[in-house]
Structure 1
Amino acid sequence: MTPAELVEGLYEDCLNKRRLDRLGDYLTPDFIGANGESGPEGFRRTIERMITAFPDLRFEIEDLFAADNKVCLRWRFRAAQLGPLAGVAPTGKMVVQEGIAIYHAGDGKLARAWLQVDRLGVLQQIGAATP
């Protein structure tokens, strides 16, 4: 798979379809995530926390482009906060979040990720922070 196909598969096959057992098909064993996660299992724990907070979470890929072994992705999700998030009890409020991620591929899989999201905006949307 090309690096772009790896990223698209990661989001569509693993994250949106909740096939987290397939993360090893897309991530290297020594993958380093945007929050310092290590390997597919570290990434899985991060995604599981998001799914717990937002059970109807589904990433919509808005832009995806690649150059050599790097891929840039712009995504959006809209989901209800039905589980705890950052110490905040479920509110049932709908949240919209956009993010930009850059992935580096190596050895035929994704090896590194960087992520920019508006975490403060999400906390404001659930009432945990004031605008």
Structure 2
Amino acid sequence: MTKIDLSNAYRDYIACLNARDWPGLGEFVDDDVHHNGHSIGLSGYREMLENDFLEIPDLCFSIRLLVSDHPYIASRLQFDCTPKGKFLGLDINGRKVSFAENVFYEFRENRIWQVWSVVDKAAIEAQL
């Protein structure tokens, strides 16, 4: 997979998330995916994402920065959304917030196998 192929696969993965195409998630995510050092598998990863969309009905992943160096992707995602209640332990309760997530992925056999994610919680706190 070339850098361009990897970048395109990642963009397709983000489109899958934004479309909430949960049956299609396995096309992009390995059955043995790890998130922040924990093996959660595809079903756990899907459950995590579904829960995010339940807690944040207007959630939309927007790529602001994308760097590809096979087998890795580094991305800065931007969010402008309205969590229903608590988010990251903060009482958001329906207020609109903007924040970024810096996330790194390792691909194995053309699917996401490792994910390391850091959300800019300080940016949210500054808005409250």
Task: Give, in whole Å, the separation in 1 of the partners of 2:126 and 2:83.
Answer: 12
Deviates more, 1:90-99 or 1:35-44: 35-44
Deviation at 1:86, TM superposition (A): 5.2
Map of 2:13 onto structure 1:
10
**1:44 is aligned with what amino acid?**
R
Deviation at 1:87, TM superposition (A): 6.4
CA contact (8 A) 1:32 1:39 kept: yes
RMSD: 2.2
State whether residues 37 and 43 of structure 1, in contact with CA within 8 Å, keep that contact through their aligned partners in structure 2: no
What's the offset of the Cα at 1:60? 0.9
Amino acid at match of 1:107: E
- Alignment: residue pair count: 125
Q: Is the 8 A contact 1:70 1:105 kept in 2?
A: yes
Gaps of 5+ in 2: none
TM-score, structure 2 normalization: 0.83
Over 3 Å counting, the alpha-carbon distance change for 1:53 and 1:37 in structure 2 is farther
Equivalent pairs: percent with the same residue?
22
Q: What corresponds to 2:33 in structure 1?
A: 31
Give the counterpart letter for 1:47 in structure 2.
Answer: L
| Map of 1:118 onto structure 2 | 120
Q: Give the unaligned 5+ runs of structure 1.
A: none
Deviation string, structure 1 residues 6-27 (Cα, Å, up to 9, x no partner): 22111112x1111122111001
The one-letter code sitting in structure 2 at the alignment partner of 1:93 is R
Go from structure 1 to structure 2 and tell me whether the alpha carbon gap of 1:123 and 1:41 turns closer, same or farther (over 3 Å shift). farther
What are the superposed Cα offsets for residues 33-65 of structure 1, whole Å, 9 maximum, x if unpaired?
Answer: 236252221111211221122101101111112
Cα distance change of structure 1 residues 35 and 53 upon mapping to structure 2, 3 Å threshold = farther
